[in-house]
Amino acid sequence: MLKMRSPCPIANTLDILGDKWTLLIIRDAFAGKTTYGDFQISPENIPTNILADRLKRLVEYDILEKKPYQQRPVRYAYRLTGKGRLLGPVLKEIIHWGKKNIIGTEAKIKLDL
């Protein structure tokens, strides 16, 4: 559970989503990636220890759900929850802002927003 440092919704949202990797994982979930291996091969090369930590946190905050798709060894698929899908418009606006304000930026990944 998130320990709030203030009642500010921006501060609390940043405590969950505000590092340099979390929104990229959410972006990839919108792009259809579901497995640890899928997330690992993103072009930003997220370190494996950070990927594992962020997936765990996103499940804890009910942004992703984790379900086994293989038993031996157990492997999991991750999917956006309803709460996670509510981040679609946020990502859309970040994409729009980046394309408009950062020269050379383009959205190469098709997202199911």
Tell me what pLDDT residue 110 has: 76
- What's the confidence (pLDDT) of residue 1? 64
Residue 33 lies in a domain: yes
| Closest among 63, 64, 113, 110 to 92, alpha carbons compared | 113
Residue 78 belongs to domain with CATH number: 1.10.10.10
In a domain, 111, yes or no: no
Q: Helix, strand or coil for residue 18?
A: coil
3 within some domain:
no
pLDDT value for 78:
98
Per-residue model confidence (pLDDT) at position 106: 83
Please indicate, yes or no, if residue 64 is contained in any of the structural domains.
yes
Is 110 within the bounds of a domain? no
CA distances from 36 to 43, 46, 106, 109, 112 (A): 14, 11, 25, 18, 19
Amino acid 2: pLDDT: 67
Would 16 be classed as within a structural domain? yes
How many structural domains is the chain composed of? Answer: 1
- Residue 111, pLDDT score: 78
pLDDT tens readout for residues 73-98 = 999 999 999 999 999 999 999 999 99
Q: Is 1 a member of any domain?
A: no
pLDDT value for 5: 83
Domain holding 16, by residue range, is 10-101
pLDDT of residue 3: 78
Query: In terms of pTM, does the model score above 0.95?
Result: no
Cα 100 from Cα 92, distance rounded (Å):
12
| Separation of CA 29 from chain center | 6
Amino acid in the structure at residue 95: I
For the chain, which ranges sit under pLDDT 50? none
The answer to whether residue 48 is domain-embedded is yes
